[in-house]
Amino acid sequence: MAVKGTDLVKLMPKRTGCKECGFPTCFAFAMKLATGGVDVDACPYLSEEAKEKIRDMLAPPIRPVTIGTGDRALLIGEEEVVYRHEKTFFHQPGFAILIKDTEEDGEVERKAKAAEEMSFIRIGRTLRPDMVALMSEAKDGGNFASLVERVAGMVTVPIILMADDPEVLLQGLEACGADRRPLLYAVTKENIDALLPKLKEAGVPVAVKASSVEELVPLTERLKEEGIQDLVLDSGTRKLWEAIRDQILIRRAALKQEFKPLGYPTIAFPCFMADDPKREVTIAAAFLNRYAGIIVLSDFKEEYLYPLLTQRMNIYSDPRVPMTVEAKVYEINGPDENAPVLVTTNFALTYFAVASETEATKIPAFLAVPDTEGLCVLAAWSTGKFGGEAIGEFIKKSGIEEKVKKKVVVIPGLVARIMGELEDELPGWKVVVGPRDATGLSSFLPELAQKA
DSSP class of residue 104? -
Q: Are 223 and 191 in contact (CB under 8 A)?
A: no
Interacting span for ligand SF4 (CB under 6 A) from 22-30, 110-118, 398-406, 421-429: 22-30
Give least dist CB 30 to ligand SF4, A: 7
Alpha-carbon distance of 236 to 142, in angstroms, equals 27
The angle at the Cα of 401, spanning 395 to 404, to the nearest 5 degrees, equals 125
Nearest to 359 by CA among 333, 379, 336: 333
Nearest to 74 by CA among 280, 325, 301, 312: 312
Instruction: Pick one of 7, 20, 190, 318: the residue that binds ligand SF4 (CB under 6 A).
Output: 20
Q: 29 or 429, CB closer to ligand SF4?
A: 29
Interacting span for ligand SF4 (CB under 6 A) from 9-17, 131-139, 371-379, 434-442: 9-17
Starting at the edge strand that comes first in sequence, how are the strands of the sheet with 430-433 ordered? 328-332, 365-369, 341-343, 408-411, 430-433
6 binds ligand SF4 per the rule CB under 6 A: no
Interacting span for ligand SF4 (CB under 6 A) from 13-21, 55-63, 190-198, 283-291: 13-21
Q: 26 or 250, CB closer to ligand SF4?
A: 26
163 binds ligand SF4 per the rule CB under 6 A: no
Q: Which of residues 24-43 bind ligand SF4 (CB under 6 A)?
A: 25-26, 29, 43
Alpha-carbon distances of 437 from 168, 353, 381, 382, rounded to whole Å? 58, 9, 15, 18
Q: Round to the nearest angstrom and report the end-to-end CA distance of the chain.
A: 63
Q: 20 or 86, CB closer to ligand SF4?
A: 20
Calculate Rg over the CA atoms of the chain. 28
Q: Are 270 and 294 in contact (CB under 8 A)?
A: no
Alpha-carbon distance of 381 to 383, in angstroms, equals 5
Alpha-carbon distance of 30 to 298, in angstroms, equals 49
SS3 391: helix
7 binds ligand SF4 per the rule CB under 6 A: no
45 binds ligand SF4 per the rule CB under 6 A: yes
19 binds ligand SF4 per the rule CB under 6 A: yes
Interacting span for ligand SF4 (CB under 6 A) from 10-18, 99-107, 297-305, 324-332: 10-18
Question: How many residues sit in the footprint of ligand SF4 (CB under 6 A)?
Answer: 14
Give least dist CB 11 to ligand SF4, A: 10
Interacting span for ligand SF4 (CB under 6 A) from 20-28, 241-249, 342-350, 407-415: 20-28
Instruction: Pick one of 5, 15, 138, 414: the residue that binds ligand SF4 (CB under 6 A).
Output: 15
Q: Are 261 and 208 in contact (CB under 8 A)?
A: no
Alpha-carbon distance of 166 to 5, in angstroms, equals 44
Q: Which of residues 334-363 bind ligand SF4 (CB under 6 A)?
A: none
12 binds ligand SF4 per the rule CB under 6 A: yes
Give least dist CB 1 to ligand SF4, A: 24
Alpha-carbon distance of 4 to 7, in angstroms, equals 5
400 binds ligand SF4 per the rule CB under 6 A: no
Q: 29 or 89, CB closer to ligand SF4?
A: 29
Q: 47 or 356, CB closer to ligand SF4?
A: 47
* Residues engaged in binding ligand SF4 (CB under 6 A): 12-13, 15-16, 18-21, 23, 25-26, 29, 43, 45
